[in-house]
């Protein structure tokens, strides 16, 4: 019976050209993480559910509606991670990393899962890369993390992104703000969408995230959280802005930026593109979370981090036709063998080239020289090696430079090293 099965709704297969973009994003990020001295951490894809409910917050959209939660065979509640921070903090506490030199600076790359309504740039399984710096309240660290986020997008080739920043203060400042904010909203409650009416009681700050026209209108005259900051939080924010100025990193203060997790304190930020015409225009974001380590049973240690959506970044790179420098300058070779009988000879040549780390492939199926040369051209190979009856008899190979069309004959028994010299002569950038 033929199976007709598609990938689950909200998931995608990534292959072909997209893999190049994806690797370009990941490689660029890895390079920067190393420059900024962040170490990699790999945590499980699923955690006990309370890791997320207790940190992200019971009243958030993620915990209320979007988690992939299931019971294992022993009836334990597990959840596919919807984000990276909670897992990293859990791992930090569990592995007593607080005993190390602080701050501990970590990065991660992996799949996240949220049961959202799928649309362009919003999936149910998506990839994020992110950093967490745990163990300092120095505003310079807020700035390091923002600087890293900003540098990543600069390195990727973006020019028109906007960095939004705000401070939601500590729990004290927030308490008095939320009180006034609720009092402000109350007379307009009927005008809000049903979701926001629920948010009003469960998580009023989330009303700021609503894209509904009527809700946005109501918010126009709202009190601003920045006016409620205590002296410490205000000074912290001023220092963050000052250090960003030192680095000449442009930002825009956005009073309505709140972000969707309960654990944030003080600085929050997001990097957005107005070239994506959808509500999904945030490519990455993060903030400070000074209470989370303690909440997980660790010492009271402040922390700050960000997460970037790899899939959305990939989408925008392609949309803006940003040329991706893949550093593929090493020549690629296509070995054309004109008869299956010559397979042993073919393997010998492939082995030699691959041992010397050249990207090479051979024609496993078709055996017509003309067809194969056309493929070598189309497939972006720099050299073809042709092995026909004559080459086998004389134990030679014919090398064709696909760019200049020049052909060379090499004696494989006595002069195989010549191929290395020939290949290394091609120092021009790849034509792909």
Q: Is 83 in the site for ligand AMP (CB under 6 A)?
A: yes
Sole window of 200-208, 209-217, 232-240, 280-288 interacting with ligand AMP (rule: CB under 6 A): 280-288
Site for ligand AMP in 380-409 (CB under 6 A): none
Binding residue (CB under 6 A) for ligand AMP from 309, 335, 342, 350:
309
Q: Is 418 in the site for ligand AMP (CB under 6 A)?
A: no
In the chain, the N- to C-terminal Cα span, in Å, equals 42
Distance CA 191, CA 207 (A): 12
Distance CA 135, CA 144 (A): 14
DSSP letter string over 216-276?
Answer: HHHHTT---GGGG--HHHHHHHHHHHHHHHHTT---EE-TT---S-TT-EEEEEEEEETTS
Sole window of 36-44, 69-77, 90-98, 278-286 interacting with ligand AMP (rule: CB under 6 A): 278-286
Distance CA 130, CA 288 (A): 13
96 CA to centre of own chain: 27
Query: C-beta of 230: minimal distance to ligand AMP in Å?
Result: 25
What character string, x for contact with ligand AMP (CB under 6 A) and - otherwise, covers 120-149?
Answer: -xxx--x-x---------------------
Q: Closest residue to ligand AMP, Cβ-based?
A: 309
Query: C-beta of 431: minimal distance to ligand AMP in Å?
Result: 33
Query: C-beta of 296: minimal distance to ligand AMP in Å?
Result: 18
Sole window of 52-60, 119-127, 218-226, 374-382 interacting with ligand AMP (rule: CB under 6 A): 119-127
Residues 68/123, Cβ–Cβ less than 8 Å: no
Residues 128/113, Cβ–Cβ less than 8 Å: no
The secondary structure of 368-413, three-state, reads: CHHHHHHHHHHCCCCEEEEECHHHHHHCEEEEEECCCCCEEEEECC
Sole window of 25-33, 153-161, 163-171, 309-317 interacting with ligand AMP (rule: CB under 6 A): 309-317
Complex with ligand AMP: residue 122 or 239, whichever CB lies closer: 122
Binding residue (CB under 6 A) for ligand AMP from 93, 196, 229, 282:
282
Give, as one character, the DSSP assignment of residue 280. Answer: -
Q: Which residues of this protein are in contact with ligand AMP, per CB under 6 A?
A: 83, 114, 116, 121-123, 126, 128, 260, 282-285, 307, 309, 311-312
């Amino acid at each position: 019976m033929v199976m007709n099965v598609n990938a689950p709704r909200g998931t995608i297969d990534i292959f072909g050209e997209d893999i190049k973009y994806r690797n370009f994003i990941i490689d660029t990020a890895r390079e920067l993480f190393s420059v900024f001295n962040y170490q990699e951490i790999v945590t499980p894809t699923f955690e006990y559910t309370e890791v997320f409910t207790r940190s992200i917050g019971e009243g958030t959209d993620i915990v209320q509606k979007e988690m992939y939660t299931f019971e294992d065979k022993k009836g334990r509640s597990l959840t596919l991670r919807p984000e990276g921070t909670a897992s990293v903090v859990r791992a930090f506490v569990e592995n007593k990393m607080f005993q190390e030199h602080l701050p501990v600076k970590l990065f991660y790359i992996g799949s996240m899962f949220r049961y959202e309504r799928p649309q362009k740039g919003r999936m149910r399984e998506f990839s994020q890369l992110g950093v967490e710096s745990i163990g300092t309240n120095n505003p310079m660290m807020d700035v390091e993390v923002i600087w890293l986020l900003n540098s990543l997008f600069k390195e990727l080739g973006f020019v028109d992104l906007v960095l939004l920043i705000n401070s939601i203060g500590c729990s004290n400042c927030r308490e008095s703000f939320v009180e006034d904010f609720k009092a402000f909203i109350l007379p307009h409650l009927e005008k809000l969408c049903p979701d926001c009416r629920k948010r009003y009681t469960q998580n009023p700050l989330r009303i700021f995230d609503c894209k509904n026209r009527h809700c946005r209108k109501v918010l126009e005259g709202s009190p601003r959280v920045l006016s409620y900051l205590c002296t410490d939080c205000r000074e912290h924010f001023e220092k963050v802005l000052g250090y960003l100025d030192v680095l000449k990193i442009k930002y825009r203060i956005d009073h309505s930026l709140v972000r969707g997790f309960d654990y944030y304190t003080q600085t929050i930020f997001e990097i957005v593109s107005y070239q994506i015409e959808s509500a999904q225009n945030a490519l990455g974001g993060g903030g400070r979370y000074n209470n989370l380590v303690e909440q997980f049973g660790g010492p009271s240690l402040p922390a700050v981090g960000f997460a970037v959506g790899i899939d959305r970044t990939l989408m925008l790179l392609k949309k803006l036709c940003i040329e991706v420098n893949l550093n593929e300058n090493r020549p690629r070779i296509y070995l054309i063998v004109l008869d299956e009988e010559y397979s042993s000879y073919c393997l010998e040549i492939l082995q030699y080239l691959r041992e010397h780390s050249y990207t090479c492939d051979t024609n496993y199926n078709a055996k017509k020289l003309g067809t194969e040369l056309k493929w070598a051209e189309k497939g972006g190979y720099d050299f073809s090696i042709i092995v026909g009856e004559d080459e086998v008899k004389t134990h030679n190979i014919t090398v064709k430079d696909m760019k200049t069309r020049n052909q060379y004959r090499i004696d494989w028994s006595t002069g195989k090293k010549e191929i290395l010299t020939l290949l290394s002569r091609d120092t021009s950038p790849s034509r792909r």
